[in-house]
Amino acid sequence: MDTHSMAELSLIWLRNDLRLTDNPALTWACKQAEKTVAVVTLTPQSWESHGESAARMGLWRDQLRSVAEHLQKLNIPLRVLRLDSFDDCAPALTDLVRELNAGALAFNYEYPLNERNRDSAVCQALESVGVEVRGFHGELIIPPGQVLTGQGGPFKVYTPFSRAWRRRLADFDRPVLPVPEAQQTTGLDSDPVPDDLDYKPLQYREDLWQVGEEAVSERLNRFIDEREPDYADKRDFPALPATSALSPYLTIGAISPRQCMAALRAAAGSRDWLDSSWLNEIIWREFYRHLLVAFPGLSRLEPFRPEVEEKISWLKNDAAFEAWCKGETGFPIVDAAMKQLLETGWMHNRLRMVVASFLTKLLRVDWRLGADFFMRHLIDADFASNLGGWQWSSSVGADAAPYFRIFNPQAQGEKFDAEGRFVARWLPQLESLKPGKPRQQPGAGAALGRPEPVIDYKKARAASLDDYQS
Residues known to be catalytic: 281, 284, 314, 349, 367, 390
**Given candidates 140, 246, 379, 424, which one binds ligand FAD under the rule CB under 6 A?**
246
Report in angstroms the alpha-carbon separations of 178 from 19, 76, 175, 193, 441.
11, 16, 9, 26, 52
Site for ligand FAD in 219-238 (CB under 6 A): 235
Using the rule CB under 6 A, is 110 a contact of ligand FAD?
no
Q: Is there a binding annotation on residue 432?
A: no
CA distance 367 to 369: 5
Q: Tell me if 290 contacts ligand FAD by CB under 6 A.
A: no
**Residue 449 Cβ vs ligand FAD, minimum distance, rounded to whole Å:** 28
Alpha-carbon gap, residue 257 to 253, rounded angstroms: 9
Question: 34 vs 372, which CB is nearer to ligand FAD?
Answer: 372
Tell whether residue 206 is among the known ligand binding residues. Answer: no
Q: Kindly report the number of other CB atoms within 10 A of residue 175's CB atom.
A: 8
Nearer to ligand FAD, 199 or 374 (CB): 374
- Verify binding: residue 380, ligand FAD, rule CB under 6 A: yes
Most distant CA pair in the chain, distance: 77
Check whether 231 is labelled as a binding-site residue.
yes
Closest to ligand FAD by CB, 41 vs 385, is: 385
Cβ atoms of 359 and 324 within 8 Å: the answer is yes
Query: Annotated binding residue at 433?
Result: no
d(CA 15, CA 420): 41
Identified binder of ligand FAD from the candidate list 89, 250, 363, 398, rule CB under 6 A: 250
Decide if 330 contacts 452 (C-beta within 8 A).
Answer: yes
Torsion 44-45-46-48 (CA) sign: positive
99 labelled binding-site residue: no
Label the pairing between strands 102-108 and 132-136: parallel
**Contact between residue 111 and residue 83 where contact means Cβ atoms under 8 Å apart:** no
- CB burial readout 319-350, b (16+ within 10 A) else e: ebbebbbebbbbbbbbbbbbbbbeebbbbbeb
Q: Of the listed pieces 193-201, 314-322, 334-342, 352-360, which binds ligand FAD according to CB under 6 A? A: 352-360
Cα separations (Å) of 46 from 22, 52, 83, 115, 350? 28, 9, 10, 10, 31
- CB atoms < 10 A from the CB of 205, how many? 14
> From the CB of 263, what's the least distance to ligand FAD, in Å?
12
Amino acid at the residue 131: V
Three-state DSSP state, 93 = helix
Q: Which residue is nearest to ligand FAD (CB)?
A: 389
| Closer residue to ligand FAD (CB): 93 or 202 | 202
Which of 89, 389, 155, 400 is CA-nearest to residue 293? 155
Contacts of residue 201, Cβ cutoff 8 Å, sequence gap at least 6: 54
Regarding 381 and contact with ligand FAD (CB under 6 A), the answer is: yes
256 counts as binding ligand FAD under rule CB under 6 A: no
Q: Are 424 and 431 in contact (CB under 8 A)?
A: yes
Task: Decide whether 179 or 381 has the Cβ nearer to ligand FAD.
Answer: 381
Residues within window 384-403 making contact with ligand FAD, judged by CB under 6 A: 385-386, 388-390, 393
- Binding flag, residue 285, ligand FAD (CB under 6 A): yes
Among 71, 125, 147, 282, binds ligand FAD (CB under 6 A): 282
Q: In what order do the strands lie in the sheet with 132-136?
A: 78-82, 35-42, 9-13, 102-108, 132-136
Q: For CA atoms 54, 59, 62, 65, give the dihedral sign.
A: negative
**344: contact with ligand FAD by CB under 6 A:** no
| Residue number with CB closer to ligand FAD (52 or 62) | 52
Member of 209, 321, 374, 407 binding ligand FAD (CB under 6 A): 374
No. of helices (H) and no. of strands (E), the chain: 20, 5
Q: Is 282 annotated as a binding residue?
A: yes
Under the binding rule (CB under 6 A), the answer on residue 155 touching ligand FAD is no
Minimum distance from residue 257 beta carbon to ligand FAD (Å): 8
Nearest-5° Cα angle at 139, 136 to 145: 70
Please identify, using beta-carbon distances, which residue of 16 and 41 lies nearer to ligand FAD.
16
Does residue number 288 form part of the binding site for ligand FAD (CB under 6 A)?
A: yes
Residue 285 marked in a binding site: yes
Query: In this chain, which of 224, 338, 356, 444 binds ligand FAD, going by CB under 6 A?
Result: 356
254 binds ligand FAD (CB under 6 A): no
Ligand-binding annotation for 13, yes or no, is no
Would the annotation count 381 as a binding residue?
yes
Nearer to ligand FAD by Cβ, of 35 and 235: the residue is 235
How many binding residues for ligand FAD (CB under 6 A)?
A: 28
User: Is residue 141 part of an annotated ligand binding site?
Assistant: no
Q: Report CA torsion sign: 308, 310, 316, 318.
A: positive
Q: Does 58 bind ligand FAD (CB under 6 A)?
A: no
Give the footprint of ligand FAD on this chain (CB under 6 A): 235, 243-247, 250-251, 281-282, 284-285, 288, 349, 352-353, 356, 374, 378, 380-382, 385-386, 388-390, 393
Binding residues: 231, 243-247, 278, 281-288, 380-382
Binding residues for FAD: 231, 243-247, 278, 281-288, 380-382
